[in-house]
Amino acid sequence: MHRQAGIPMTTMTMMMMMMRKIMVKNWWQYVEVNEANAQILFQHREAMISWVAKQAGVHDKDIEKFSYDHRKGRNISPFSMIDAGSFANRQKIMEWIMQNGDKKGIAEWNNDKLQTFQSGNNRDGINGYIKFEPCISTFDRLQTEPLKAIMTVISKLTPSTQWKHSWKHLTIQEKDTENYLAWVAIDHLHGTANIYVTKKLFSARQFEDEFQAAYSANMSRKVIGNKGKGKRSEQEGVLTPGDFLKAVGLGSEGKDSYLRIGTQALKTRAPFLFEVRAIAQEEFPTKYEEHLNKIAKRILEPDTVL
């Protein structure tokens, strides 16, 4: 155990960054392609977002620190990305939206200064209504990719086994007995993932070899399968940081894209370093409790690393 010092950008860091961000979409009522008038449009959006935050109970000093990105690449986007500064601020805003909005969203304000701007979408229920959405789904997908590869391996090695999976707990169990076949224990801070499999059916070495092949194939297919880009990487399954971000939906479009994110942690074949361990059935609850306690202690004592 030691004090944190200069921890690099990891998947946990990126996830925490995204957990305080909100996507506000469907700014179709006023669309401006003239850069000279862009700031007027941005001020309109930010004034409304600040009003919503204030109604939600976010302190004025926090609202003043909000950061905004209204572009996708170099173009003005109908979406705005807001960094609310903290998960708590984001939750206040999302709870207020749930209580005060409807399925259409929140009615966009009228603005006399923008009356000369063209409308971008005339669909009923779209034009004039904006929606607030939290930005975390990408990391949910990032976490489930290993489980998809594990499903492939189990189906290959034990094709007659009937199983069920849980995206929430990242587990695979036998349908009839509910015995654990596999569980992925992810440590976002250190970028590691232990894959526990039942030693009754699998050996760690064989499972790890099959898993690495299945995982690399899945991730490569996500990147290489893009239309119009038929060239494969020289090393099958080895992703560049940019390739991986595209695979999980974070590909940037231009240097100013609001989807731009740090890639310091993505210097290996995947955002996690995997290790497969074969254990007895009775060990699964113990391993789960140990992992849960480690994560809980890290949350309660954030100044230490376990």
pLDDT of 38 above 90: no
Q: Any residues with CB less than 8 A from the CB of 143 and at least 6 apart, and which?
A: 170, 184, 186
183 shares its domain with 147: yes
User: Alpha-carbon distance 66 to 89, whole Å?
Assistant: 10
Q: What pLDDT digit, counting tens, does each position of 54-77 carry?
A: 999 999 999 999 999 998 777 888
Cα 207–212–214 angle (5° rounding)?
Answer: 90
Can you say whether the dihedral through the CA atoms of 218, 222, 225, 230 is positive or negative? negative
Q: Does residue 270 or residue 8 have the better pLDDT?
A: 270
pLDDT of 234 above 60: no
Q: Give domain status of residue 10, yes or no.
A: no
pLDDT of 82 above 80: yes
Alpha helices in 5-164 (DSSP H): 11-18, 38-55, 60-63, 87-100, 137-157
Report which of 157, 156, 160, 178 is spatially closest to residue 169, judged by C-alpha positions: 178
User: Alpha-carbon distance 54 to 62, whole Å?
Assistant: 10
Q: Give domain status of residue 163, yes or no.
A: yes
Q: Give domain status of residue 293, yes or no.
A: yes
pLDDT of 127 above 80: no
Mean pLDDT for the stretch of residues 120-131: 65
Assign 121 a pLDDT band (cuts: 50, 70, 90): low
Query: 113, 135, 157 — which closes off a domain?
Result: 135
pLDDT of residue 236: 38
pLDDT of residue 14: 55
Q: Please give the tally of structural domains in the chain.
A: 2
Q: What is the CATH number of the domain that holds 32?
A: 3.30.70
Q: Give domain status of residue 257, yes or no.
A: yes
pLDDT of residue 172: 95
Q: 243 has which bridge partners?
A: none
Q: Does residue 128 or residue 79 have the better pLDDT?
A: 79
C-beta of residue 33 within 8 angstroms of C-beta of residue 117: no
170 shares its domain with 286: yes
Report which of 275, 156, 152 is spatially closest to residue 205, judged by C-alpha positions: 275
User: Alpha-carbon distance 106 to 92, whole Å?
Assistant: 16
pLDDT of residue 17: 66
Task: Map residue 113 onto helix, strand or coil.
Answer: helix
pLDDT of 260 above 50: no
Q: Give domain status of residue 197, yes or no.
A: yes
Mean pLDDT of the chain: 75
Assign 78 a pLDDT band (cuts: 50, 70, 90): confident
Q: Give domain status of residue 112, yes or no.
A: yes
Q: 275 has which bridge partners?
A: 194
42 shares its domain with 82: yes
120 shares its domain with 159: no
189 shares its domain with 57: no
80 shares its domain with 154: no
Which is it for strands 192-198 and 273-279: parallel, antiparallel or unpaired? parallel
H or E, element range at 278: strand 273-279
User: Alpha-carbon distance 106 to 2, whole Å?
Assistant: 47
Assign 224 a pLDDT band (cuts: 50, 70, 90): very low
Range of lowest pLDDT (43-52, 164-173, 248-257): 248-257
82 shares its domain with 192: no
- Find where tokens 């392609």 sit: 33
User: Alpha-carbon distance 68 to 70, whole Å?
Assistant: 6
pLDDT of residue 200: 95
Q: Any residues with CB less than 8 A from the CB of 254 and at least 6 apart, and which?
A: 71, 72, 73, 74, 75
CA 87 → CA 15, 19, 107, 200, distances in Å? 11, 6, 25, 42
Q: Does residue 280 or residue 256 have the better pLDDT?
A: 280
Q: 195 has which bridge partners?
A: 184, 276
Please give the residue range of the domain that contains residue 78.
Answer: 20-135
Query: 111, 135, 159 — which closes off a domain?
Result: 135
User: Alpha-carbon distance 123 to 105, whole Å?
Assistant: 14
CA 266 → CA 149, 196, 252, 261, 269, distances in Å? 19, 24, 15, 11, 8
Phi, psi values for residue 110, rounded to 5°? -85, 145
29 shares its domain with 112: yes
